[in-house]
């Protein structure tokens, strides 16, 4: 199921046959894992278990496949997730791109679509994004998308310290 579409990308629910591709492009790449999950590389079985427990196979919310429209290739994971980092229900957006897709504007493109989804479809009053303090490329993209730094938090899922960015939507 397609969740949202941009000029060059679309976000869709995962399929079982995506797991091996996600492992090769995301979970077996040291630099990608360090910037996103803050952990050591996972072996295939660990990655498969993470994907089955944390990714979206049938809903609009959750980590989903980012697909490049022109090639139909999976280039990463992204999605909108419910969160409670600020002691109330919020929505966080995020993206994890394979290294070959870095620097092409894909994060900005999918991020903007996710923000619009949170604002227009979910009708949330604000949006959050988290980034590792060392992931300057993601922080640059998050700021470019109009979010501002709020505070640092220590995540409960083992990702370590993350910077929290926020955008309160104007209501008129």
pLDDT band at 33 (very low <50, low <70, confident <90, very high): confident
pLDDT band at 171 (very low <50, low <70, confident <90, very high): low
Phi, psi dihedrals of residue 77, rounded to the nearest 5° = -120, 150
Sheet holding 90-97, edge to edge: 2-5, 9-12, 64-68, 73-83, 90-97, 126-131, 161-168, 148-154
CATH number at residue 151: 3.40.630.30
Question: What contacts 32, CB < 8 A, 6 or more positions away?
Answer: 25, 26, 96, 97, 98, 99
Note down the domain range covering 45: 2-168
pLDDT, residue 42, reads: 82
Q: What is the Cα–Cα distance from 32 to 158, expressed in whole angstroms?
A: 16
The pTM for the full model equals: 0.93
* Total number of domains in the chain: 1
Q: Are 55 and 62 in contact (CB under 8 A)?
A: yes
């Amino acid at each position: 199921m397609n969740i949202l579409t941009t000029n060059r990308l679309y976000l869709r629910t995962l399929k079982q046959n995506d797991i091996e591709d996600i492992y090769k492009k995301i979970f077996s790449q040291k630099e990608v894992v360090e910037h996103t999950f803050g952990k050591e590389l996972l072996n295939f079985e660990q990655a498969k278990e993470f994907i089955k427990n944390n990714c979206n196979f049938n809903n609009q919310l959750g980590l989903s496949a980012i697909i490049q429209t022109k090639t139909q290739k999976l280039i990463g994971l992204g999605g909108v997730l419910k969160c409670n980092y600020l002691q109330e229900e919020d929505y966080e957006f995020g993206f994890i791109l394979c290294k070959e897709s870095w620097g092409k504007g894909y994060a900005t493109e999918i991020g903007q679509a996710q923000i619009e989804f949170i604002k227009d479809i979910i009708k949330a009053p604000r949006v959050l994004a988290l980034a590792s303090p060392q992931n300057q490329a993601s922080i640059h993209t998050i700021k470019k998308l109009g979010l501002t730094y709020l505070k640092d938090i220590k995540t409960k899922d083992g990702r370590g310290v993350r910077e929290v960015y926020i955008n309160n939507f104007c209501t008129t």
